Amino acid sequence: MSQVLLALAALALLAELTGCTSSPAAGPSPVPSGSAGSTPVPSGSVGSTGSSLSARSLSNYVFPVRSTSARFGRTHHDYPATDIFASCGTEVLAVTNGVVAEVSRKDDWTTRENGGATRGGLSVSIVGTDGVRYYGSHLKSIVATVVPGHRVRAGEVLGRVGHTGSARPTACHLHFGISPPCALADWWNRRGVLSPYSFLTSWQDGGQRSPVPAVAKWRSDHGCPTKPQSDG
């Protein structure tokens, strides 16, 4: 990634998290073609938001899938997250205002290796103005303008529900996880550190329950683990 892209991504994230009202900088360049794996914003930008877990932004929240028939459970295998089942191709939405942190447009998962970093297939993570990181994976496709540093608004379309990565043998669904924005490429935290079920239930009904206090407490209790806590 060019130094120009890194600088623009950092400026976009800083402006969003500090409530800057000046005109945004020019959008970042497209993700280089042929790039493998996830394409992140600078590690300093994402890591620094960990201290800003605050409800000061009075963030608006929306359900991450545009479907009235989407279903999801209370539990998830091996670690806390939620699988939201919906028809293939259903629109995936940004749950709140924020900035795109990482994007993976390439499905490198294989049954032989089953690597934790590639299980999500096509995926997007955003850091909300509330300081919480939101992760969605197994996407069928990702909107072309969704690149690191891109500012998103609650309800903006990020991509479409699919079953890429380790979800290939299963029905289409969105894997949804919440976590503090500890570091780049920390897939063991990014995939989810506490259950989103109660928040999803609220948002699906038009409520505005915020995960900020729960995520802040989790980080206070656990810090930012530097390795997976389970193999799931």
pLDDT in tens, 76-134: 888 889 999 999 999 999 999 999 999 999 998 788 888 878 888 999 999 999 999 99
Half-sphere exposure of 175 (CA within 13 A, CB side): 28
DSSP-assigned states of every residue in 194-229: S--HHHHHHHHTT----SHHHHHHHHHHH---SS-S
For the chain, how many residues are written?
Answer: 232
Task: Please say whether the beta carbons of 146 and 103 come within 8 A.
Answer: yes
Fill in the amino acid letter for 152.
Answer: V
Task: Look up the pTM and report it.
Answer: 0.78
Fill in the amino acid letter for 222.
Answer: H
Tell me the backbone φ, ψ of residue 12, rounded to 5 degrees: -65, -45
CATH superfamily of 3-211: Glucose Permease (Domain IIA) (2.70.70.10)
pLDDT in tens, 167-193: 888 999 999 999 999 998 899 999 999
